[in-house]
Amino acid sequence: MDGHTTIELQKPRRHPYYRRRVATAVILTIAVFIVSIYSIVTGSVKLSLPQVWEGLMREGSSSVRTIVWDLRLPRIIVGMIVGMCLAVSGTIMQGVMKNPLADPGIIGVSSGAALMAVIITILLPKYIVVLPIAAFVGGFATAMLVYALSWQGGGSAPGRIILVGVAINAVVGATMSAIMLLYSDRVQAVLPWMAGVIGGATMEQAKMLLIYGIPALVLSLFAIKPVRLLQLGDDVAKLLGHRVERSRFFLIIISALLTGIAVSVSGLIGFIGLVIPHVVRMIVGQDERFVLPLSALAGGAFLVLADTFARSWFDPVELPVGLLLSFLGGPFFLYILYKRGGLGAFRS
């Protein structure tokens, strides 16, 4: 072909993973839509696409409209945003802690939220309506406590945060167990929450999540640059003119915020924050400019898909989605680990 050589010479500088990254972005975006559509037509009552359209658009009180607007759509919205928040939060945590095992739980958000949930449902059932807010406050406060306690000599080393987190998680977990043992007759009420459910999601919750979750997710885009710089190591980041401690604080806040929002609605869904960022990293390489947004898409789609399975496979019984995720996700992750033979970005 004529002109072939000139094309070669002017070849723009492309990252070796460029095509892979673009392809992953396209596939995940499509996946989000397909999964949403799949989820809206699937269930104990199967709907066709025209029925869904009719239910969405036509006013009035048909049963289809009720199923679409009051049952399935809220679940999809809640699942999508919760999945996104957890995956992004995990991406940030793994970056800040420079540890492949870091997930939002490590800074105490999950255990703090769970303790509040236990206290509310078991000790103060009158106030059950404030459960989401209480769980959020509990999670966030615990994260801040962990951060404050790991402060030493003008900074907080990631290793120290993890150790302090382990200690605080132990204390909080013990308190929770104590309450559950003392009031073992009322434990039943809190169990679904502990397993992670988005089953009872209402349009109210979906709206609330849209109001808090979307801004938090947008805010998380500002975490990309600090996370990338921190990965070079504290000293190098400082030498490049970056304020390491300030951005670590910001990153922990945003991560706690995202997890707090997710956990307050859905309870403890553990798997996504830990594994989704890993899988995405294995595919697109370690660059948070891609890993963070793509993890969000993958986390959202994955949670909605899992939730759809959880409510349709075992009909009429509904499995908590958190349980199903761990059941299926664990072996899946093992498979990837063995196939790839490493911990992806964190091998060294």
Partner 1 sequence: MLSVRDVSIRHSELFALRHVELEIHEGEIVSIIGPNGSGKSTLLKTMARLLSPLEGAIILEGRLLDLWGQKELAQTLAMLPQTPHHGLDMTVRELVEFGRNPHKRWLQTLDHEDERVIDWALDVTNLKEMENRFLPSLSGGERQRAWIAMAIAQRPKILLLDEPTTHLDIVHQLEVMELVHQLNKEWGVTVVMVLHDVNQAAQYSDRLIAMKQGTIVYDGPPQQVMCRQMFEEVFGVDVRIVYDDNQPFFFPRAKTFAVVRSVQRYTPTTG
Chain residues binding partner 1 by CB under 8 A are 13-16, 222, 225, 228-229, 231-233, 235-236, 238-243, 285-287, 344-348
240 burial via Cβ count (<10 Å: 0-12, 13-18, 19+): exposed
User: CB count, 10 Å around CB of 139?
Assistant: 31
Tell me whether residue 175 or residue 286 sits nearer to partner 1 (CB atom). Answer: 286
Q: How far is the CB of 74 from partner 1 (least distance, A)?
A: 35
Tell me whether residue 233 or residue 331 sits nearer to partner 1 (CB atom). Answer: 233
Tell me whether residue 20 or residue 242 sits nearer to partner 1 (CB atom). Answer: 242
For residue 265, give the nearest of 161, 193, 348 by alpha carbon.
193
Tell me whether residue 191 or residue 239 sits nearer to partner 1 (CB atom). Answer: 239
Tell me the one-letter amino acid at 310: A
Q: How far is the CB of 79 from partner 1 (least distance, A)?
A: 31
Name the token pair of 271. 């798997």
Tell me whether residue 100 or residue 192 sits nearer to partner 1 (CB atom). Answer: 100
Tell me whether residue 58 or residue 243 sits nearer to partner 1 (CB atom). Answer: 243
Which phi and psi angles does 270 have, rounded to 5°?
A: -85, -35
For residue 222, give the nearest of 259, 249, 254, 261 by alpha carbon.
254
Three-state secondary-structure class, residue 302: helix
Q: How far is the CB of 94 from partner 1 (least distance, A)?
A: 13
The Cα 262–Cα 255 span in angstroms is 11
For residue 269, give the nearest of 322, 307, 222, 232 by alpha carbon.
322
Tell me the one-letter amino acid at 32: V
Tell me whether residue 162 or residue 209 sits nearer to partner 1 (CB atom). Answer: 162
Q: How far is the CB of 237 from partner 1 (least distance, A)?
A: 9
The Cα 275–Cα 23 span in angstroms is 20
Tell me the one-letter amino acid at 225: K
Q: How far is the CB of 34 from partner 1 (least distance, A)?
A: 30
The Cα 40–Cα 23 span in angstroms is 26
Q: How far is the CB of 175 from partner 1 (least distance, A)?
A: 37
Q: How far is the CB of 26 from partner 1 (least distance, A)?
A: 22
